[in-house]
Each structure stands twice: as structure tokens, then as C-alpha cells.
DNA sequence: CAATCGGTACCGACTAGTCGGTTTGTACAT
DNA sequence: ATGTACAAACCGACTAGTCGGTACCGATTG
């Protein structure tokens, strides 16, 4: 185990507590007691309880964005890009599952100045997926008659919802889940031409 | 507009407030003031603030369950059942959108005795979808190699996530969205035999 | 080496304010 | 008179955040 700074210890503790009781179900007193520190220590590291919530949000969304960009840039065809982006996201999942729960369930409680920063990153993420769908339509891999918006939100929903049911010690691995998601989405949006490529690259089950 | 009882007025008010500020972002004082009543009136109608939260949860999930059961019972083939169930759900959406937001974002704050009731109904809902997938595999409409669990969660995720982005006054109607969802999911899980039937019944775009 | 100094990290008692819930009061119907 | 349906004032518990203080650590000086 790496040496843990006080800040890291507070975040780790808070994540566990928030996930089970929700942001408002946990007081700063409880966080500092569980983390084995003090009120002073907490406010030395964080401007406010809200700032801690923001940090948890930002760490997660920034990582997702970074990985997604990489997946987009490092792949050639839209099919490769889609699969790689899905794979990236679900990979982040395994590491940041606690962040995600807080991210999606408690974001309403972020003060506006924090919320805007997060919102921009979320938008950027959505636009990258929309871009891939558009690319695929133009290149003939994806059917032109599907709606980019709806398809994008379908993909995001499908993937994001995983945080509600996926358990790291459960019987399903992220690998299996991603494989199924790829199969479901690709079959749903590809043209016959696209299907040839996907089959050849073994993206389908 | 129908005559509104005090109880209905409180629920309507609370829904609007909760949706924008979250459950903990709204005090009972604010609810009663906005609803034009008093603390006494509130606690005359509700045992506690938690009880109000529970009621919002229950109204929504009970309706979803009822509609889904109907969709299952009143259709013959798995393909019809799936489409009808999706259609039911998205229909409930239009009416209960505010409930849904509270339902998914604030359920962590339900006290255990309430939470268990809700959890049972959610499980029942999930099992109905799993049942349809299984039915479809047996009847040859759906591909036997897909995982029932993952596919079920994919469908639920896809559909549920809609509450995060769908807006009643937006440019997309629920009708269009449902059509796309049906297309995406069916193409993703059907066998060639199933595809014939779906095309014939015009379930695909 | 030892004494001193400055700054950072951290502590915990304290406070002002807010919240959910209760108690008491009142108007009205039966 | 008695119960119902609310209103208004009130209360105790709890919370986020503050603030005066201490412990520690590395650099500077004699």
C-alpha cells in the first residue's frame, strides 16, 4: 500500500461514506472521525464540504474525458473508435466506481460555480460520442437514418447505468459486460458494410 | 384543472422543488410556504419528510410495474412484449418525469423500512424483463448466446437514463425516442427469424 | 552541534444558524 | 361538546464552518 496523504485518506473515507449514506447523510464530523483526523485537518485541506464533493466529481470526469479522447485519437475507423471508447469508459469504471455513484446521485448539490466546470466536461464527453456517430454515418459504417442525438444518449445511458448494478466481486466481469455492450450497440447501428468489418475484427459475440 | 387536495398540492410542490434542489436542498418550511400551507398541515398529511419522499417513490414505481405487467400479459410474442414494455415505460415517463428524477437521485436517503418496499418492486420489474428475454431465447426470436442479465440491465439502463436528458418541450418526442430504442435493442438481440417478424411488424426504422 | 526562527500541518472546543418535528391554538362542522 | 383540519409559535438536535492554539520540520545562525 502506498503512503497515503491526509487528503487522500479523507477522500477515500468520504467516498465510502457518501456511497452508502449519500452526501447529506454524512456530516463532516463523521468524515473526520472515520478518517482519523480532525475538523481542523479537514478544513486545512478543503475549502468546504462542497469543495470535497467537487473534487470527487472532477477526478472522475477528467479521467473519463482523458481516456475517451485517447480512444478517439488512437483509432482509425468509427467502429474501432466506438469499441475503444466503450472499453475505456468501463475500464475507468472499475477504478472509480465509488466516484461515479457520488457523481451521478449527488451532482444536484454542487454549488453553481463548481457545477459549471463539471457540466462543460460532460458536454465535451457527449460531443465526442456524437462525433463518432457522425463519422460513422459519413464513412458508411453506421446507418444514416439513425438519430445521432438519440443514439448518443442511448450509448451513454447504457454505459452509465452500469454503476447502479455492477459489483466488482459479482459474477460478471467488466470484460464480459463491455463485450456485450459492444455487440448490442454495434448491431444496433451498423450498416451491412460495417457488419463485415466488425465480424472480421471479432467485435461481435 | 381538477380540484386539488392539500396532499396533492404538497406532493406537486415538493416534486418541483426536489427536482431542482434535491431532497436535502429543500426544507419542510420551504415546501409548506410554496404550497401555501403550514407545518401543521404538512404533518397532518404526512408522518414525516421521509414519508413524503417514500410516497413519491412508490407512486412512480407502482405505476411502472402495473403498466409493464399489462404489456407483458397482453402481448403474444417476445418481440411484441419487449416493444410494448418499452413503450409503456416511456409513456409513464412523460407523466412522471419529476418523480423519476427524485426516484433515482434520492433513493439513498430513504429509511430502510421504506427502501425495502421499493426495492422489492424494482426487483419484480427487473425479473419481468429477464423473463421476456428468456422467453425470446426459447422461442427462437432472440439469440441464445446473449447474457440475459447483461441484456436486461442494458435495456433498463438505456431506458432509465432518459430521465437525465429528455425534456418535454425539447425537440425530440418520446415517440421518436422509443422508436429508436426499439430499433436499437431489437437489432441487438434478435435472431434472423426474429428480424423477419420485426420487419414485418414495422418495429424497425 | 545546538539554539533559534518561521512556516506549515494539524487539533478540537465553540458558535451561529438551520432543520425536522411537536405543541398549542383556532375555526368549523356535526 | 367533540372531533377534524389546519395554522403559528416553538424546541431540541444537529451541522458546517471558525479560530486560537500546538506540534513538527527544515533552514539559518553563532
Q: What pLDDT digit, counting tens, does each position of A41-53 carry? A: 999 999 999 999 9
At a 7 A CB cut-off, the residues bordering strand D are A 24, 26-30, 39-40, 43, 48-50; B 6, 32, 36-41, 44-45
Q: Does nucleic acid strand C have an atom less than 7 angstroms from the CB of B29?
A: yes
Of all nucleotides in the shown strands, which has a C1' nearest the CA of B5?
A: D5
Q: What is the mean pLDDT of residues B81-98?
A: 92
| Res A1 pLDDT > 50 | no
pLDDT the model gives residue B58? 95
Q: Give yes or no: residues B37 and B103 share one domain.
A: no
pLDDT digits (tens, 9 = 90+) for B33-83: 999 999 999 999 999 999 999 999 999 999 999 999 999 999 999 999 999
**Residue A62 CA to nucleotide D25 C1', Å?**
35
- A-B CB pairs within 8 A amount to 110
CA dihedral B18, B23, B27, B31 (to 10 degrees): 30
Q: Give yes or no: residues B52 and B151 share one domain.
A: yes
Alpha helices in chain A (DSSP H): 6-21, 28-35, 39-45, 49-73, 78-105, 112-139, 148-160, 162-165, 174-189, 192-200
The total of structural domains in chain B comes to 2
**Residue A20 CA to nucleotide C4 C1', Å?**
50
Q: Give yes or no: residues B98 and B1 share one domain.
A: no
Q: What is the mean pLDDT of residues B90-99?
A: 90
Q: Look over chain B and give the mean of its residue pLDDT values, rounded to a whole number.
A: 93
In a domain? residue B205: no
From CA B144, how far away is CA B151, in angstroms rounded? Answer: 12
Q: Give yes or no: residues B86 and B115 share one domain.
A: yes
pLDDT digits (tens, 9 = 90+) for B154-199: 999 999 999 999 998 999 999 999 999 999 999 999 999 999 999 9
Contact A50, A111 (CB under 8 A): yes
Pick among B15, B17, B20, B22 to test the A interface (most A CBs inside 10 A)? B22
A151 touches chain B (CB under 8 A): yes
**Residue B41 CA to nucleotide C25 C1', Å?**
14
In a domain? residue A25: yes
pLDDT digits (tens, 9 = 90+) for B1-45: 445 788 889 999 999 999 999 999 999 999 999 999 999 999 999
Q: Give yes or no: residues B53 and B71 share one domain.
A: yes
Protein-contacted bases of chain C (C-beta within 7 A)? 9-14, 18-25
pLDDT the model gives residue B43? 93
User: Cell for B185?
Assistant: 435493442
pLDDT the model gives residue B3? 54
Contact list in A for residue B23 (CB cut-off 8 A) is 24
In a domain? residue B53: yes
What percent of chain B has pLDDT above 90? 89
Compute the nearest-CA separation of A104 from chain B (Å): 8
Q: Give yes or no: residues A137 and A181 share one domain.
A: yes
pLDDT the model gives residue A90? 87
What percent of chain A has pLDDT above 90? 91
**Residue span of the structural domain in which A143 resides:** 48-200
Q: What is the mean pLDDT of residues A6-27?
A: 93
Protein-contacted bases of chain D (C-beta within 7 A)? 5-10, 14-21
Return all residues near B73 (Cβ < 8 A) that are at least 6 apart.
none
pLDDT the model gives residue B176? 94
The sign of the CA dihedral A61, A66, A70, A73 is: positive
pLDDT the model gives residue B33? 92
Contact B97, B168 (CB under 8 A): yes
pLDDT the model gives residue A5? 84
Q: What is the CATH number of the domain that holds B102?
A: 1.10.357.10
Q: Give yes or no: residues A55 and A139 share one domain.
A: yes
Contact B101, B174 (CB under 8 A): no
Q: Give yes or no: residues B152 and B176 share one domain.
A: yes
Contact B124, B65 (CB under 8 A): yes
In a domain? residue B190: yes
| Res A157 pLDDT > 80 | yes
Q: What Rg do the C-alpha atoms of chain A give, in angstroms?
A: 19
Contact list in A for residue B106 (CB cut-off 8 A) is 22, 105
pLDDT digits (tens, 9 = 90+) for B103-113: 999 999 999 99
Pairwise CB contact (< 8 Å): B150 & A24: no
pLDDT the model gives residue A2? 45
**Residue A18 CA to nucleotide D10 C1', Å?**
33
Write the DSSP string, chain B.
Answer: -----HHHHHHHHHHHHHHHH-GGGS-HHHHHHHHT--HHHHHHH-S-HHHHHHHHHHHHHHHHHHHHHHHHHT--SHHHHHHHHHHHHHHHHHHHHHHHHHHHHSGGGS-HHHHHHHHHHHHHHHHHHHHHHHHHHHHTSB-TTS-HHHHHHHHHHHHHTHHHH--TTSSS-HHHHHHHHHHHHHHHHB-HHHHHHHHHTT---
CA distances from B78 to A52, A74, A95, B138 (A): 48, 40, 37, 10
From CA A109, how far away is CA A105, in angstroms rounded? Answer: 9
Contact A28, B111 (CB under 8 A): no
Q: What is the mean pLDDT of residues A187-205?
A: 93
A111 touches chain B (CB under 8 A): no
User: Cell for A99?
Assistant: 466516484
Give the residue from B10, B27, B46 where a domain finishes: B46
Q: In this structure, how many other beta carbons lie within 10 angstroms of the beta carbon of residue B106? A: 22
From CA B52, how far away is CA B56, in angstroms rounded? Answer: 6
Closest residue in chain A to residue B152, using alpha carbons only: A158
Q: What is the CATH number of the domain that holds B9?
A: 1.10.10.60
Number of residues assigned to chain B: 205
| Res A3 pLDDT > 60 | no
pLDDT the model gives residue B200? 93
Q: Give yes or no: residues B128 and B33 share one domain.
A: no
Amino acid at each position: 500500500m502506498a503512503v497515503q496523504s491526509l487528503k487522500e485518506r479523507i477522500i477515500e473515507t468520504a467516498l465510502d461514506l457518501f456511497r452508502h449514506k449519500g452526501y447529506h447523510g454524512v456530516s463532516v464530523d463523521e468524515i473526520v472521525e472515520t478518517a482519523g483526523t480532525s475538523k481542523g485537518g479537514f478544513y486545512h485541506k478543503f475549502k468546504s464540504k462542497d469543495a470535497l464533493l467537487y473534487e470527487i466529481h472532477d477526478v472522475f470526469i477528467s479521467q473519463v474525458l482523458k481516456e475517451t479522447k485517447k480512444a478517439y485519437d488512437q483509432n482509425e475507423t468509427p467502429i474501432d473508435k466506438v469499441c475503444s471508447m466503450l472499453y475505456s469508459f468501463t475500464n475507468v469504471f472499475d477504478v472509480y466506481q465509488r466516484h461515479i455513484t457520488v457523481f451521478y446521485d449527488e451532482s444536484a448539490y454542487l454549488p453553481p460555480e463548481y457545477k459549471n466546470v463539471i457540466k462543460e466536461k460532460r458536454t465535451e464527453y457527449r460531443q465526442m460520442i456524437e462525433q463518432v456517430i457522425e463519422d460513422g454515418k459519413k464513412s458508411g459504417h453506421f446507418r444514416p437514418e439513425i438519430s445521432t442525438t438519440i443514439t448518443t444518449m442511448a450509448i451513454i445511458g447504457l454505459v452509465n447505468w452500469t454503476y447502479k448494478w455492477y459489483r466488482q466481486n459479482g459474477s460478471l466481469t467488466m470484460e464480459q459486460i463491455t463485450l456485450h455492450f459492444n455487440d448490442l450497440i454495434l448491431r444496433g447501428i451498423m450498416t451491412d458494410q460495417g457488419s463485415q468489418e466488425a465480424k472480421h475484427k471479432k467485435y461481435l459475440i
